[in-house]
């Protein structure tokens, strides 16, 4: 189990480095299209990073993950904003 957690933590570090690299690429881009593509990739990477971190947390405390799922489905829907 510790080996799996170490692999997931390593994956999280790799994803974070990739996201930072893409954001640097966007910052240095001379044209808007390249910058937007880099930002989109960074967003995709951070989404995967979030999932990886959630899996690590669930592995450390499975009851917390079950509670999070239960809370998510038991919350009332948000009311649309008037405007």
According to the 3-state scheme, what is the secondary structure of 23-45? Answer: HHHHHHCCCHHHHHHHHHHHHHH
Domain that holds residue 18: 2-73
In a domain, 81, yes or no: no
Contact 23, 40 (CB under 8 A): no
Structure confidence at residue 14 (pLDDT): 87
pTM summary value: 0.57
Does the residue 54 lie in any domain? yes
Tokens of 41: 């990739």
Q: What is the pLDDT of residues 61-74, one digit of tens each?
A: 877 766 666 766 77
Q: Percent of the chain scored above 90 by pLDDT?
A: 0
| 18-43 pLDDT tens trace | 888 888 888 888 888 888 888 888 89
Q: How many domains does the chain have?
A: 1
Token output for 50 = 């979030």
């Amino acid at each position: 189990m510790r080996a799996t957690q170490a692999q997931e933590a390593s994956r999280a570090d790799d994803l974070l480095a990739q996201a930072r690299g893409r954001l640097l690429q966007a910052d240095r881009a001379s044209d808007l299209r390249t910058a937007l593509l880099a930002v989109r990739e960074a967003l995709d990477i951070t989404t995967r990073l979030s999932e990886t971190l959630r899996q690590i947390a669930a592995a450390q405390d499975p009851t917390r993950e079950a509670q999070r799922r239960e809370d998510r489905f038991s919350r009332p829907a948000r009311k649309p904003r008037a405007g």
